[in-house]
Chains A and B, each alone.
Chain A
């Protein structure tokens, strides 16, 4: 039986539509497949982490993506939340800063799940943690602020024996200059561990773009002296604690063309600070904040001292808060913090 011409055209059209639809479905599936992360390497992932502040390291091996993560510092907390890994967090300690605006919603969700800071039964501590408590949270990865040795929370081997990996960020623990190169290693490590290298690379690149952009804009400016002050003036001992040029944010600020008034940092006698005020004129003061160390207390201690209050930064009210996590680097909060610093400097 011969088909009519119209019937033949109709069948051909239907076949074409079916083929196109099938191709579209296949393409969509392929696209979805493209969004899926690459499979975790069969041999796993190995990173190197510092185990103390003396430069000793340990290799840490991951067979699979960690599912129960403890954030042991605000840097880790901010990064995990910003990367959308909040669901994997089972506990937090050393949460001693105000939450970053960019991750506030994720943070609130997390607090609902693990509990408010320092409440009974909460897995959310503002300060240090005990080893047994940390074990009871049953993590498979702890990203901590303290060292992984017997004088800290136990060795990498102890935790490995308990089915948990540990790491600390290079920019927080290295005994060398804590540079953006070290921050790249941190982002690469997190990318490899969670199999999200595209995301971590993007954040790192964004940070570098911000730094380069500000550096370009700062070219040609007069020398600007700054100091990174940790805590209030110790009036009893007559000293001030300032960060040296090895500190992460100091390496970034120096790269932007600013000059650290106290390159060697440490505990500086007030006499030395008075001398620096008289000779180099400190234009900008950063007060590093964490826990009970607040911006207001630190600023007041400078304002209350007759000689420190003569500092240009105090007289001109050129003082800024610097969160500890930002001063230590690797925190994605630097994306906004550096921009704020730049805008502030522009107005000076």
Chain B
């Protein structure tokens, strides 16, 4: 069988279950390190960075004190009565949930990035391509700048930024879903174009609200939210994000073959018996839920879902059996590291979206300019 792009489909229709890459470049040489070995190394690095995230902060708390607090809180061992209450609060109520959340958000964004890129077969796809970020932005903009005017005095007045952002995110992905399903099959092109249309509409409405609303304080809150942050976090938020991301990880762990097939292009995947239209609908629902929850809790954190899949392809190739586990580990490490930088670089916290973009753009440029790198799939 010959693909329209001129590449042969391997004799085994699902060769990726046994390793190897789709097309384009071979993965980076990692010596004799296998994917399993790489995952173990990355897991260790992730745990180290996660611990560093608990130990490092704007407030200097002795290493030993942090250990004592964590051991006491997790295992109930030891005595912390001599430790000032504020230190316990900082470690247990701020740094620890923040570290866990950083890990979860990194995993979620990387996972959604990998799935979106495979689903729409486009290297520029990121978790926000279906308009989720613009929908969430519209919701947040509405809540911060106009909520009081429009909702004041109604039962919805207590709706916070999070609730409005979530409704916006889910609302836009539903609209994209409906729009791309009109007229039959949900194709890649229809999905992307629907995302662009809905994003443009949401962007226009957000700008209209910003233009009309004379609230300087609100603008400050809004800009901070739009640039993303892990600062406003508690264990409830961690649990909500954790459940959504866990469901996503477990579900997509069963979808490696389908994701690989998607990368071969619509016609080939269909020939191989994959019901693309149905799969895309399910994938959209699951990734939308993951991203909507992350966005409503942490704002818009750009670049992670875009660059981590590319960075990982450069390391292990385009086979999702390798790509997905490595990508989510690198996503977690990247997010945790960016958060440490965001809260220690200056006296006041820098929005994490700025850090991820500052670090991500050069890395992305390097990967892109590497002559050997290829996206994989049939529509490169």
Contact = CB atoms under 8 A, between A and B. Distances in A.
Interface of A: 52-56, 118, 125, 127-133, 135-136, 138, 145-147, 149-152, 154, 158, 161-163, 172-173, 175, 230, 241-244, 264-267
A218 B349 CA distance: 47
Given A125-B347, A175-B149, 8 more contacts: A53-B215, A56-B158, A125-B348, A150-B160, A162-B85, A175-B152, A230-B216, A241-B214
A266 B213 contact: yes
Contacts, number: 106
Nearest to A118: B347
A23 B146 CA distance: 66
A54 to B, nearest CB: 4
Main secondary structure of the interface of B (DSSP, over half): helix
Nearest to A162: B89
B160 A130 contact: no
A136 B90 contact: yes
B200 interface: no
Nearest to A52: B160
A125 B210 CA distance: 29
A267 B210 contact: yes
Contact of A55 (B89, B93, B148, B214): B148
B59 interface: yes
A132 B95 contact: yes
B19 interface: no
Nearest to B59: A136
Which 8 residue pairs across A and B have the least CB separation, nearest first? A266-B214, A265-B214, A175-B148, A54-B148, A128-B348, A136-B59, A150-B232, A54-B147
B358 interface: no
B211 A267 contact: yes
Contact of A149 (B148, B160, B347): B160
Interface in B147-176: 147-149, 151-152, 157-158, 160-162
A172 B220 CA distance: 14
Given A55-B148, A133-B58, A150 B234 contact: yes
Interface of B: 57-59, 84-87, 89-90, 93-95, 143-144, 147-149, 151-152, 157-158, 160-162, 210-218, 221, 224-225, 231-234, 237, 343, 347-349
A151 B212 contact: no
A233 to B, nearest CB: 16
A136 B87 CA distance: 7
B15 to A, nearest CB: 48
B214 A244 contact: yes
Nearest to B146: A54
B178 to A, nearest CB: 30
Given A135-B90, A267-B211, A130 B58 contact: yes
A136 B93 CA distance: 13
B225 A267 contact: no
A241 B216 contact: yes
Interface centre among A125, A128, A173 (most CB of B within 10 A): A128
A237 B231 CA distance: 31
A331 B231 CA distance: 30
A323 to B, nearest CB: 14
Given A150-B160, A154-B232, A162-B89, A130 B349 contact: yes
Contacts of B86: 135-136, 138, 162
A132 B348 CA distance: 11
A128 B95 CA distance: 19
B236 to A, nearest CB: 10
A132 B214 contact: no
B216 to A, nearest CB: 6
B203 to A, nearest CB: 15
Given A135-B94, A138-B84, A130 B217 contact: no
Nearest to B140: A151
Contacts of B234: 150, 158
A247 B215 CA distance: 10
B218 A53 contact: yes
Nearest to B216: A230
A54 B157 contact: yes
Contacts of A266: 211-215
B299 to A, nearest CB: 9
Given A125-B347, A128-B349, A150-B232, A135 B89 contact: yes
A131 B218 contact: no
Contacts of B215: 53, 266
B90 A151 contact: no
24 contacts: A53-B144, A53-B215, A53-B218, A54-B151, A55-B152, A55-B157, A56-B157, A125-B348, A130-B58, A132-B90, A135-B89, A138-B86, A149-B161, A150-B160, A150-B232, A150-B233, A151-B160, A151-B224, A158-B234, A173-B217, A175-B148, A266-B212, A266-B213, A267-B211
B221 A147 contact: yes
A130 B348 contact: yes
Nearest to B91: A132
Contact of B58 (A132, A158, A162): A132
B44 to A, nearest CB: 27
A66 B234 CA distance: 27
Nearest to A125: B347
A150 B216 contact: no
Nearest to A154: B232
A155 to B, nearest CB: 9
A145 B157 CA distance: 21
A54 B214 contact: no
A91 to B, nearest CB: 12
A141 B158 CA distance: 25
